[in-house]
Structure 1
């Protein structure tokens, strides 16, 4: 009980509505065991996931009927570790530390669309009014949360690196090359020869490490 009180958690919604949050709205396929590291030294072990819909890390509280909850002190969270993956809860959303040396990070953003409501003759409308809502509390503020089924169409990856004291963000080859203007032609050839896909994390790490080693 003390563990729960110290964690200071807020329940997002009653258990009867949890099923309406479709798993496709999350970064991970399932809630996975992870550790939450607080700036004051507290560490908690709970099943975690990241909601691409409301852009928050959430957890299942096994002491409270597995209800989905959010942290009441998000500013106190330093890092979140899920398996071997390390995340930083930044103001822009979930940011994963892909590599420490040379450092590179990736931020995840979900592109979601309404599945649509049933309309006449068995069709669906994506523009029909949404009339099913729930809410969750964050601090003293209540927020509405649409509970119509959403479909995750894609997850955008926004990479961040630092070079010569300047930060660069990129999602494609053109933006990446701006960080290495002196090696633009060489890196473009490398990307073509190795069929680098800038939506693939391993591919991005490959070309970034190659570029960082250039003298």
Structure 2
């Protein structure tokens, strides 16, 4: 499926299609949502938007056709707003969600892993492997931008975080790295973990932990 250029003068797409979470599990949102694409020159473009976790592309619905932002759009893009959430491009040209930009900065890169269909294993079991080897065949068929992957593919969501509290942006890929980042404030870290349910792949709990430490360590 060829990438198509997102015109800088997008019109509001009025057709609104609702899809179930099951059918759209490799997208960040459960449906395409009216959003705003803000360009560096100040132009605001309206479209139905969603984020594809597999291709790591911002996708817009143009009359039922799902298209990725073209390079010319990405080069001139400032911010994307979807459902009161804010997304920008980081220095690796990847979309990240802006969670906090006050006395500290917290960004989330939403990602997923695909598990290919299970293969027969010994004793009647099955094994699941990364779907990397199958990417090309599905992409050639335009499956990645569709709303439903083949039934035998499984999606595992995960997040990468970036924090800047004054000493530059640090990418956090694991609980261990997060704990090491806040080693200076390990008492605050441990206090929060004891009192709150914590899941590294649940950005709300990570957001809560970072907020707690950053606002109680000054």
What's the counterpart of residue 66 of structure 2? Answer: 68
Shift of 1:80: 0.4
Contact 1:36/1:43, CA 8 A, preserved across alignment: yes
What's the counterpart of residue 83 of structure 2? Answer: 83
What's the counterpart of residue 57 of structure 1? Answer: 58
What's the counterpart of residue 42 of structure 1? Answer: 43
**Taking structure 2 as the reference length, what is the TM-score of the superposition?**
0.70
- Distance in 1 (alpha carbons) for counterparts of 2:48 and 2:145: 23
Aligned residues: 184
Name the Cα RMSD after superposition: 3.4
- Distance in 2 (alpha carbons) for counterparts of 1:41 and 1:52: 27
- Distance in 2 (alpha carbons) for counterparts of 1:175 and 1:153: 24
Shift of 1:48: 0.5
Matched, 1:193 2:195: yes
Task: Please tell me whether Structure 1 or Structure 2 has the larger radius of gyration of its CA atoms.
Answer: 1
Evaluate the alpha carbon distance shift between residue 179 and residue 197 of structure 1 in structure 2; reply closer, same or farther with a 3 A threshold.
same
Structure 1 gaps of 5+ residues are 9-21, 118-123, 137-143
Greater fraction strand: 1
Shift of 1:115: 3.8
Contact 1:87/1:95, CA 8 A, preserved across alignment: yes
Structure 2 gaps of 5+ residues are 1-5, 11-22, 120-125
Contact 2:105/2:165, CA 8 A, preserved across alignment: no
What does 1:1-215 align with in structure 2 at a 5 Å threshold? 6-7=8-9, 23-62=24-63, 66-72=64-70, 73=72, 74-90=74-90, 91=92, 93-101=94-102, 102-115=104-117, 134=140, 149=150, 151-213=153-215, 214-215=217-218
- Distance in 1 (alpha carbons) for counterparts of 2:145 and 2:182: 43
